[in-house]
Amino acid sequence: MNEAYQWLAAHSRETAYLRSIKKLIAWDQRTFIPEKGHAHRAAQLAVLAKLIHERDTDPRVGEYLSKVEGTELTREPESTEAVNIREWRRAFDLNTKIPQELAVALTKASAEGQTVWEKVRPANDWQTFQPYLERIVTLKKEQAAALGYDAEPYDPLLDLYEVGETAAGVAAVFAPLREATIRLLEEIPDEFRRPDTGIITRHFPRDLQEKFSRAAAARIGYDFAAGRLDVTAHPFSTGVGPGDARITTRYDEHFFPMAFFGTLHEAGHAMYNLGLPEEHWGTPRGEPVSLAIHESQSRMWENLVGRTLAFWQYFYPAAQEMFPALEGVSLEAFYRAINRVEPSLIRVEADEVTYNLHIIFRFELERALIKGDLEVSDLPEAWNDKVREFLGLTPPDYADGVMQDVHWSGGHIGYFPTYTLGNLYAAQFFAKAREDLGGLEEMFARGEFAPLLAWLRENIHAQGSRYRPRDLVRVVTGKELEARYLLDYLKGKFVG
């Protein structure tokens, strides 16, 4: 075997071990660390980040890459070697294209931006936040210029989160989704617009919620011998490595859906991580493809599985037995309560239908900011215009308007589209799974989730990063990514 390739693979794997250790101590930092351990933990993380950065930008990576590119190893573009070389090249270029000075400035501005955002958001203080966001937007434009682009400066920023994706590509799938969603909203009947949501805001004791969530996560296929469920203020999942993918959730004793669907969501992420091909761990062939594909897995288990009537035909008797609050509540009433559709101001609380509208207008705004078509000083007004146009609402303040999300304050411009792309991929994959497997709903109603998980493992998880997202959806479903699968699903569910 080629020596340069062997060196690159060993280098990649060793760096992956460092990243994995970093993930583990970052998980601990958010879960069980003693209060006085934070300063030392921050120092540990900084050292690891430095080591990882040195290894990622090691000039030998560039040298060895040029020795293997264009050789026998890259002849078959989907072979393990060709895939690894392709993705190592991408990462090396990204890591070395940004001047050191700019990288440091970005890190600093993002850290400051987020700190200030956390502090001033509760006080609704946009004026103080504005210069910090202006600084971030300026630096992100510089970053786009350093990375280079063909069509527009938003493209390389988006590509950082969603490999191979472009603004024009996103706009092409978002446009029909936006039009049809706004029309769909008008057709949704009252049973979903105004269900009795009092049912799910009764008292649901925390320990019982935990027991129930764990049982459901295990039933859909999350292996607790390879995972954990703990509590954090902001739920997340982390794939430490083979046999170790952990999740967290948060409980609200007076709002059943929060912990339950949050757990299904994070379990979906974890099951993807646990399904990656172990023999390729530490190289791109064994890594997740992108944020949107990751999100397609979490959203599928949370929504396309977890919010179906069939799913609850199986789980509802156990839920009724566990929670006295559900005594006398019919399955249908419960199903409608967890599926209420109603335009609202806050993205993270939005339902399946309106959620995508929140994302589409954020994409339009951040694209305009980076293009230079919109100034940060005009952002609050532009935001309110979009909320009126898309959702028919007017934000009462900045805190629940333009300042509601953490993303921009932390320099994450180009991240938002991955959420809705995730919904689109989920619906398209799910439609194909149904075509291949037959009556999924009948299986769910019997508590059988293994066939779907096996299908996802084989078609998506086991692929690692062999294909870029758009290629993956084409290979798996035989079609380009299209809005109609998500639209058909939403229409079928809410309008019939």
Q: Give the shortest CB-469-to-Zn ion separation in angstroms.
A: 15
Q: How far is the C-alpha of 401 from the C-alpha of 405, rounded, in Å?
A: 9
Q: Which are the contacts of 11, defined by CB distance < 8 A and separation ≥ 6?
A: 55, 58, 60, 61
409 binds Zn ion (CB under 5 A): no
- Residues numbered 183 to 212 that lie near Zn ion (CB under 5 A) are none
Distance from chain centroid for Cα 75? 33
- Taking the least distance from each CB to Zn ion, the nearer of 109 and 359 is 359
Token pair listed for 430: 């799910």
Q: Output b/e per residue, 434-457; b: 16+ Cβ within 10 A.
A: eeeeeebeebbbeeebeebbebbb
The answer to whether residue 186 is catalytic is no
Closer Cβ to Zn ion, 81 or 162, answer by number: 162
Contacts of 401 (CB under 8 A, 6+ apart): 345, 380, 383, 384, 387, 395
Q: By CB neighbour count within 10 A (0-12 exposed, 13-18 middle, 19+ buried), where does 281 fall?
A: middle
Query: Which is catalytic among the residues 162, 266, 287, 352?
Result: 266
Q: Whole-number minimum distance, CB 176 to Zn ion, in Å?
A: 24
Residue 467 has, within 13 A of its CA and on its CB side, a CA count of 14
Beta carbon nearer to Zn ion, 110 or 298:
298
For residues 80 and 298, which CB has a smaller minimum distance to Zn ion in the complex?
A: 298
CB 415 within 8 A of CB 291: yes
Lay out the site mask for Zn ion across 421-460 (x = CB under 5 A, - = otherwise). ----------------------------------------
Residue nearest to Zn ion (CB): 298
Q: Minimum CB separation from Zn ion for residue 297, in Å?
A: 9
Q: Is 310 exposed, middle or buried (0-12, 13-18, 19+ CB in 10 A)?
A: middle
The nearest distance, CB 287 to Zn ion, in angstroms, is: 17
* CA distances (Å), origin 267, targets 169, 227, 275, 306, 441: 29, 9, 12, 11, 20
Closest CA to 230 of 38, 32, 41, 34: 32
**Site membership for Zn ion, residue 238 (CB under 5 A):** no
Q: How far is the CB of 207 from Zn ion (least distance, A)?
A: 25
- Min dist. Cβ of residue 266 to Zn ion (A): 7
In this structure, the strands spanning 237-241 and 229-231 are: unpaired
Query: Site for Zn ion (CB under 5 A): how many residues?
Result: 1
Region 276-305 residues binding Zn ion, contact defined as CB under 5 A: 298
By CB under 5 A, tell whether 248 contacts Zn ion: no
Question: Please, which residue, 143 or 213, has the CB nearer to Zn ion?
Answer: 213
Q: Give the residue with the Cβ less far from Zn ion, 185 or 426.
A: 426
Spell out the alpha helix ranges (H) of 288-406: 291-299, 309-322, 331-337, 355-371, 379-391
19 vs 294 by CB, closer to Zn ion: 294
Least Cβ distance, residue 265 to Zn ion (angstroms)? 6
SS3 248: strand
For Zn ion, the closer of residues 270 and 453 by Cβ is 270
- Give the Cα separation of 74 and 82 in Å (integer): 4
- Min dist CB 237 to Zn ion, Å, is 7
Residues tagged active-site: 266
Binding site for Zn ion (CB under 5 A): 298
